[in-house]
Amino acid sequence: MGDNNSPSGSPKQDAKPDLVIDGGDSAIPKGDTDTTSLETMVRSFQDSMSVGKTHKFWETQPVGQYKDLGDTTLPEGPIEPPTPLSEVKQEPYNLPSAYEWTTCDMESEETCDEVYLLLKNNYVEDDENMFRFNYSKEFLRWALCTPDYYKSWHIGVRAKSSKKLVAFISGVPARIRVRDNVVKMAGINFLCVHKKLRSKRLAPVMIKEVTRRVHLENIWQASYTAGVVLPTPITTCQYWHRSLNPKKLIDVGFSRLGARMTMSRTIKLYKLPESTVTPGFRKMETRDVPAVTRLLRNYLSQFVVAPEFDQSDVEHWLLPNENVVDSYLVEGPDSHEITDFCSFYTLPSSILGNQSYFTLKAAYSYYNVSTKTPLPQLMNDALIVAKQKDFDVFNALDVMHNESFLRELKFGPGDGQLHYYLYNYRIRSALKPSELGLVLL
């Protein structure tokens, strides 16, 4: 099952075998207030060239293949039919002899610590090795211990001699609607191999093993993301960044001072009001789950690919969870109707090699619904509360209707793109980012 790694033949394989590609993005997306059109052209050319590469692993998998691009005779839907469960391989795939499989119980403090430290020290870095994602233990539990999750899908690899955890991959169950079909899928994420073991070719075996375990639960499709081009994205999204603490972002190299801009002018440019402006804007509470579920389901119904949330999903994914996810809504002062909703999750990065700063606190736009409050106004209030909570930057993809507020609220395009993929499910032609209603962590 596909994930965020680039096994054999991927665009970056020559530099780093088994390069880790995360469920959100392959390299930490950075802002750049001075990106030139030449850089954009170079990046576009590099992306187009990667289409011509061979992907030995992915070309053996039931995923959209480059040779099929533009073939409108191919049916949408599953690429391969389900196998009878009795024919699914019952034994785990073989690892190199020095390693063994382990199932990671994320509700165990000791195991959660191990997974956290593996990711903290070995997970996704930006291309210049200045930042590395630092998912908190609370975030990992939130992301992995979902309603009806399968513990067997949280897969680790240990060194037999030391019992040290050296690799990890995970899946969680999800219901994803593709047009009118609601499909049970696995959301694959957090594929990470210890830096010293990137030459051991563990990643393809791990992908095959999580695929096997997902198949044992009679689930045959999956969703995943990567920052590199693999066969074949259903859409490609752009990261945008809104400075909340511009001096720190410039000091640590996340962004640059714009041409003819001073630091004081930049700080003034990104200054936000002290308090939110929308009447009835407040933090989401447990009693709001039914209303938010209705609002969200109605909103997501317009997109080609989107999650099919029920109340238990909304309760898990969107109820505020300190240092994990923040959600706010607008309640009509007179009607008490819930009319609008916004949310963002917390994903800090370790700042590598900087003597003054150690952590970059980033908010990532999650699900936002506007029916009465204009979306730019709603999201400006989200920026204000994120600033109040000491976030340094607010990141957003150009999915759903996000494009309508990005430039107005002084977001700038970053250097990170995110490619969305479906495993064993064909969509006949690529989607626009605005046709996608899915945000993967």
The catalytic residue positions are 441
Conformational region of residue 253, where left means phi above 0, alpha means psi within -120 to 50, and beta covers everything else? left
CA distance 6 to 55: 9
